[in-house]
Homo-oligomer: A and B are copies of this chain.
């Protein structure tokens, strides 16, 4: 047993890193990001900017996997392409500021939720309105349409609210109303 202490120490550090990468990936899994994309993010989080080949090496996966993984993470705005001078290969960097991660990720999702549902509500209400305006329809059917219309109408305030929340989160205004304790070091824009 007991080989080189430095080698063991490095192993410990790698181990600690894996521990956090795993829980990061599990966290992201909660929000619908696949585990492998989460693991990729976690790895990039610790390594700083990486090329696809470095990712492949680190994770032991294929290059196309890395390519699609990075692309997916870019969609969520949590990974960006970077320029590393004197480097032919493209490099990518993970968003290291979790506050910004949160902002990018959730504002994006919430905006999409609002848009998607308000649009379908608009269409749906239009359809039931046609029923309501039709003379030839019986009262009981109209009542059904009326109820439907009302349920949809009642849900709108939620989407308006969510839209405001998304805007506040995207702009960073949310940190005015719910401040965070600064760490000892800086936090730039």
| B27, A116: Cβ atoms closer than 8 Å | yes
Number of A residues with CB within 8 Å of any CB on chain B: 70
Q: Which segment of A9-17, A60-68, A82-90 sits at the interface? A: A9-17
> How far in angstroms is the closest Cβ of chain B from A145?
6
Query: Contacts of A1 on B, CB cut-off 8 Å?
Result: none
A residues 91-145 near B (Cβ < 8 Å) are 98-99, 102, 109, 112-113, 116-117, 119-121, 123-125, 127-128, 130-131, 134, 136-138, 141-142, 144-145
**Which residue, A120, A121, A155, has most C-beta atoms of chain B within 10 A?**
A120
Query: Contacts of A164 on B, CB cut-off 8 Å?
Result: 178
Kindly supply a per-residue 1/0 record for chain A positions 150-174, scoring 1 wherever the CB is within 8 Å of any chain B CB and 0 otherwise.
0111111111111011001000000
Contact of A6 among B120, B137, B159 (CB under 8 A): B137
| A157, B182: Cβ atoms closer than 8 Å | yes
Query: Contacts of A124 on B, CB cut-off 8 Å?
Result: 16-17, 19-20
| B134, A19: Cβ atoms closer than 8 Å | no
Q: Name which residue of chain B comes closest to A127, CB basis.
A: B16
| A181, B160: Cβ atoms closer than 8 Å | yes
Query: Contacts of A102 on B, CB cut-off 8 Å?
Result: 158, 162
* Complex Cα gap A102–B180 (Å): 22
Query: Contacts of A127 on B, CB cut-off 8 Å?
Result: 12-13, 15-16, 19
Between A and B, 11 residue pairs with Cβ closer than 8 Å are: A6-B137, A9-B141, A12-B145, A13-B144, A22-B120, A26-B116, A29-B32, A30-B113, A102-B158, A157-B182, A161-B180
- In addition to A9-B137, A12-B145, A16-B128, 14 A-B residue pairs with Cβ atoms within 8 Å of each other are A9-B141, A9-B142, A13-B144, A20-B121, A22-B120, A23-B119, A27-B112, A27-B113, A46-B151, A102-B158, A157-B180, A161-B178, A161-B180, A165-B178
